[in-house]
Protein backbone atom coordinates (compact mmCIF):
# COMPACT_ATOMS: atom_id res chain seq x y z
CA UNK A 1 0.00 0.00 0.00
CA UNK A 2 2.82 2.42 0.85
CA UNK A 3 4.39 2.03 -2.59
CA UNK A 4 1.09 2.76 -4.33
CA UNK A 5 0.49 5.89 -2.27
CA UNK A 6 4.07 7.02 -2.88
CA UNK A 7 3.58 6.49 -6.62
CA UNK A 8 0.58 8.82 -6.52
CA UNK A 9 2.45 11.41 -4.42
CA UNK A 10 5.54 11.58 -6.65
CA UNK A 11 3.43 11.89 -9.79
CA UNK A 12 4.37 10.86 -13.32
CA UNK A 13 7.80 12.52 -13.05
CA UNK A 14 8.79 10.53 -9.95
CA UNK A 15 9.76 6.88 -9.50
CA UNK A 16 9.03 4.45 -6.68
CA UNK A 17 10.78 1.16 -5.97
CA UNK A 18 9.16 -1.31 -3.61
CA UNK A 19 11.25 -4.15 -2.21
CA UNK A 20 9.99 -7.50 -0.95
CA UNK A 21 11.63 -10.84 -0.29
CA UNK A 22 8.77 -13.09 -1.36
CA UNK A 23 7.80 -13.89 -4.95
CA UNK A 24 4.14 -14.04 -3.92
CA UNK A 25 4.11 -10.46 -2.64
CA UNK A 26 6.06 -9.24 -5.66
CA UNK A 27 3.52 -10.85 -8.01
CA UNK A 28 0.65 -9.41 -6.02
CA UNK A 29 2.17 -5.91 -5.95
CA UNK A 30 3.03 -5.92 -9.65
CA UNK A 31 -0.47 -7.08 -10.52
CA UNK A 32 -2.05 -4.36 -8.40
CA UNK A 33 0.20 -1.67 -9.92
CA UNK A 34 -0.88 -2.79 -13.39
CA UNK A 35 -4.56 -2.73 -12.41
CA UNK A 36 -4.15 0.78 -10.99
CA UNK A 37 -2.26 1.94 -14.08
CA UNK A 38 0.78 2.99 -12.05
CA UNK A 39 3.72 2.82 -14.41
CA UNK A 40 6.01 4.85 -12.13
CA UNK A 41 6.35 2.09 -9.53
CA UNK A 42 8.38 -1.10 -9.77
CA UNK A 43 8.91 -3.95 -7.35
CA UNK A 44 12.24 -5.68 -6.81
CA UNK A 45 13.09 -8.86 -4.96
CA UNK A 46 15.47 -8.30 -2.09
CA UNK A 47 16.11 -7.80 1.57
CA UNK A 48 16.27 -4.54 3.46
CA UNK A 49 19.71 -5.60 4.69
CA UNK A 50 20.88 -5.54 1.06
CA UNK A 51 18.54 -3.18 -0.80
CA UNK A 52 18.58 -3.76 -4.58
CA UNK A 53 18.74 -0.02 -5.33
CA UNK A 54 21.63 2.06 -6.62
CA UNK A 55 23.69 4.26 -4.29
CA UNK A 56 22.19 7.73 -3.83
CA UNK A 57 19.02 6.93 -5.76
CA UNK A 58 16.27 7.83 -3.29
CA UNK A 59 14.94 11.10 -1.96
CA UNK A 60 12.87 9.21 0.63
CA UNK A 61 13.01 5.72 2.14
CA UNK A 62 9.88 4.38 3.84
CA UNK A 63 9.85 1.41 6.19
CA UNK A 64 6.50 0.27 7.50
CA UNK A 65 6.95 -2.67 9.83
CA UNK A 66 10.08 -4.14 8.24
CA UNK A 67 13.03 -2.99 10.33
CA UNK A 68 11.67 -4.68 13.43
CA UNK A 69 11.90 -8.03 11.61
CA UNK A 70 15.61 -7.66 10.86
CA UNK A 71 18.26 -8.85 13.30
CA UNK A 72 20.95 -6.50 11.86
CA UNK A 73 19.34 -3.11 12.43
CA UNK A 74 22.62 -1.21 12.09
CA UNK A 75 23.12 -2.90 8.70
CA UNK A 76 19.62 -1.81 7.67
CA UNK A 77 20.35 1.79 8.56
CA UNK A 78 23.63 1.62 6.63
CA UNK A 79 21.66 0.50 3.57
CA UNK A 80 19.16 3.31 4.00
CA UNK A 81 22.04 5.80 4.24
CA UNK A 82 23.62 4.27 1.13
CA UNK A 83 20.55 4.59 -1.08
CA UNK A 84 19.55 8.08 0.07
CA UNK A 85 20.66 11.11 -1.89
CA UNK A 86 22.35 13.90 0.05
CA UNK A 87 19.56 15.70 1.91
CA UNK A 88 17.27 12.66 1.60
CA UNK A 89 15.14 11.46 4.47
CA UNK A 90 13.55 8.35 5.85
CA UNK A 91 10.19 7.66 7.40
CA UNK A 92 9.96 4.72 9.77
CA UNK A 93 6.82 3.17 11.23
CA UNK A 94 8.42 0.31 13.12
CA UNK A 95 8.99 -0.90 16.63
CA UNK A 96 12.77 -1.32 16.88
CA UNK A 97 14.34 -3.10 19.82
CA UNK A 98 17.96 -3.58 20.78
CA UNK A 99 17.41 -6.50 23.16
CA UNK A 100 14.95 -9.39 23.52
CA UNK A 101 11.48 -8.65 24.85
CA UNK A 102 10.64 -10.39 28.15
CA UNK A 103 8.16 -13.25 27.72
CA UNK A 104 5.42 -11.55 29.77
CA UNK A 105 5.66 -8.39 27.64
CA UNK A 106 5.21 -10.38 24.41
CA UNK A 107 1.65 -11.22 25.48
CA UNK A 108 0.65 -7.73 26.69
CA UNK A 109 -1.09 -6.16 23.67
CA UNK A 110 -1.24 -2.76 25.38
CA UNK A 111 2.55 -2.53 25.15
CA UNK A 112 2.45 -3.03 21.35
CA UNK A 113 -0.44 -0.77 20.36
CA UNK A 114 -1.07 2.96 20.58
Residue 1 has pLDDT above 60, yes or no: yes
Are residues 28 and 9 part of one domain?
A: yes
> Do 70 and 25 belong together in one domain?
no
In this structure, the answer to whether residues 60 and 42 fall within a common structural domain is no
Which letter does DSSP use for residue 80 in this model? H
Same domain, 30 and 55: no
Q: How confident is the model at residue 114 (pLDDT cuts 50, 70, 90)?
A: low
Residues 70, 18 share a domain: no
31 and 77 belong to one structural domain? no
User: Looking at residue 110, what is its pLDDT?
Assistant: 76
CA angle, corner 49, sides to 111 and 47, nearest 5? 95
Please state the rounded mean pLDDT for residues 98-114: 77
Domain count for the chain, please give it.
2
Range of the domain at 59: 50-114
Residue 100, pLDDT score: 83
pLDDT in tens, 74-102: 999 999 999 999 999 999 887 667 788 88
Q: Within this chain, do residues 2 and 18 fall inside the same structural domain, yes or no?
A: yes
Report pLDDT digits (tens) over 7-57. Answer: 999 999 999 999 999 999 999 999 999 999 999 999 999 998 999 999 999
Which distant-in-sequence residues (6+ apart) come within 8 Å of 79 by Cβ? 48, 49, 50, 51
User: Is 39 in the same domain as 57?
Assistant: no
Confidence check: pLDDT of 104 > 90: no
Is there a single domain that holds both residue 38 and residue 88? no
Amino acid sequence: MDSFLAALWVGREGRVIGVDMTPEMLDRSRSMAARLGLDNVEFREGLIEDVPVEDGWADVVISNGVINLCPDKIGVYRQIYRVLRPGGRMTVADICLERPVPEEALHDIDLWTG
